[in-house]
Amino acid sequence: MEYKNLIVEIKDGIALVKLNRPKALNALNSEMLEEIKHAGDALNANKDVRVVIITGEGDKAFIAGADILEMKDLTAIGGMKFSLKGFEAIGTLENMEKPVIAAVNGFALGGGFEVAIACDIIYASDKAKVGFPETTLGIHPGFGGTQRTAKLVGLAKAKELIFTGKTITAQEAYKMGLINKVVPHDQLMGEVMALAEKIKANGPFAVRLAKECINKSLSLDNKEGLIFEAKNFGLCFATKDQKEGMTAFVEKRKPTYKGE
Ligand code: CAA
């Protein structure tokens, strides 16, 4: 598929997905959401890809939210369909079998911040500003923000952010635990690439199964979660990666993983 709103580059096992509507600060319209879902599915199926990075094209925004022009005249059913389209696109990223890193290079607002918090790890530029301004527009977050934020920062902080619609700095979001790391703007992509390389060097199957366990911890009770972990831990021993990792340790060399 040829994308109109995304640029996808794959190099040495790392896929870089750039959201590409810079004139509209990469606002998410229906077409872009469909393309994100398509690209997410394709990258998930591509065995050569071990880590995915998402960032915004241009110097100003990661994503400034869902497209307000497209939403302005929606009916109730239209609003629900638009939300579900976001749910599908963002769910594809969240459930991808490989790690997804958000490189937040500027504004990540509303639906844009909802994309970021569905990724596994967020690194942000020190110039980035994030938040959920939806209530200032007479709506509330519709791409998962009301559900994911409280799990990340607790009910009270999630409610304060969403009820006020205030925009906060990357540093404030870091202090709240919403962002993993804040880096100087011009070093963002270098730091994110270094992170991707570090993850890429580890057993792909183990990283994939760990992601599945960690995501499951949000919906399973403790006992079910621990049983799920035991099952995935056992599965690691069915892989060549585990043999390679432990043999390399014994032979005092670096392992070479093939994701098998
Ligand atoms: N939708 C559509 N277009 C958008 C947009 C959005 N979310 N955000 C920015 N744009 C467009 C602007 O309309 C403008 O287009 P024109 O040049 O054609 O006028 C262009 O991008 C540049 O934006 P600004 O001139 O406004 O740039 P700025 O630097 O003055 O301000 C900003 C930047 C503070 C991010 C401001 O653009 C803004 O407040 N954007 C809207 C943010 C927002 O409310 N996001 C939440 C959307 S609702 C949502 O996401 C719902 C959901 O959960 C699913």
- In a domain? residue 67: yes
pLDDT tens digits, one per residue of 164-208: 999 999 999 999 999 999 999 999 999 999 999 999 999 999 999
For atom 6 of ligand 1, the residue with the nearest CA is 67
Q: How far is the CA of 96 from the centre of ligand 1 (A)?
A: 28
- In a domain? residue 46: yes
Structure confidence at residue 96 (pLDDT): 96
For atom 39 of ligand 1, the residue with the nearest CA is 64
- Residues in a beta bridge with 17: 8, 54
**Catalytic-labelled residue, pool 9, 134, 197, 212:** 134
pLDDT tens digits, one per residue of 210-232: 999 999 999 999 999 999 999 99
Helix count and strand count (H, E) for the chain = 11, 10
One domain for residues 226 and 108: no
For atom 29 of ligand 1, the residue with the nearest CA is 60
For atom 22 of ligand 1, the residue with the nearest CA is 24
Q: How far is the CA of 65 from the centre of ligand 1 (A)?
A: 7
One domain for residues 119 and 227: no
> Is the distance from the beta carbon of residue 111 to the nearest atom of ligand 1 less than 6 Å?
yes
pLDDT tens digits, one per residue of 58-78: 999 999 999 999 999 999 999
For atom 20 of ligand 1, the residue with the nearest CA is 24
Across the beta sheet with 6-11, the strand order is 6-11, 14-19, 51-56, 100-104, 121-125, 181-183
> Is the distance from the beta carbon of residue 107 to the nearest atom of ligand 1 less than 6 Å?
yes
CATH code, domain with 209? 1.10.12.10
Question: Of the residues 19, 25, 140, which should be mutated to test ligand 1's pocket, given the most ligand atoms within 8 Å of the CB?
Answer: 25
One domain for residues 168 and 214: no
CATH code, domain with 135? 3.90.226.10
Structure confidence at residue 171 (pLDDT): 98
Taking residues 73-89, report their average pLDDT: 98
- Above pLDDT 70, what percent of the chain? 100
pLDDT of residue 1 exceeding 90: no
Rounded-to-integer distance, Cα 108 and Cα 27, Å = 10
Q: How far is the CA of 126 from the centre of ligand 1 (A)?
A: 20
- Above pLDDT 90, what percent of the chain? 98
Number of domains in the chain: 2
Please state whether beta strands 6-11 and 14-19 pair in parallel, antiparallel, or not at all (unpaired): antiparallel
Structure confidence at residue 101 (pLDDT): 98
- State the residue range of the domain holding 221: 204-250
Give the tokens for residue 66. Answer: 């869902």
Q: For the purposes of burial, counting CB atoms within 10 Å of the CB of 213, is it exposed (0-12), middle (13-18) or buried (19 or more)?
A: middle
Structure confidence at residue 203 (pLDDT): 96
pLDDT of residue 98 exceeding 90: yes
Asked if 126 and 185 count as a contact pair (C-beta separation under 8 A), the reply is: yes
One domain for residues 99 and 181: yes
Taking residues 47-60, report their average pLDDT: 96
> Is the distance from the beta carbon of residue 68 to the nearest atom of ligand 1 less than 6 Å?
yes
Asked if 161 and 168 count as a contact pair (C-beta separation under 8 A), the reply is: yes
Q: Nearest to residue 1, comparing CAs of 26, 32, 27, 24?
A: 32
134 a catalytic residue: yes
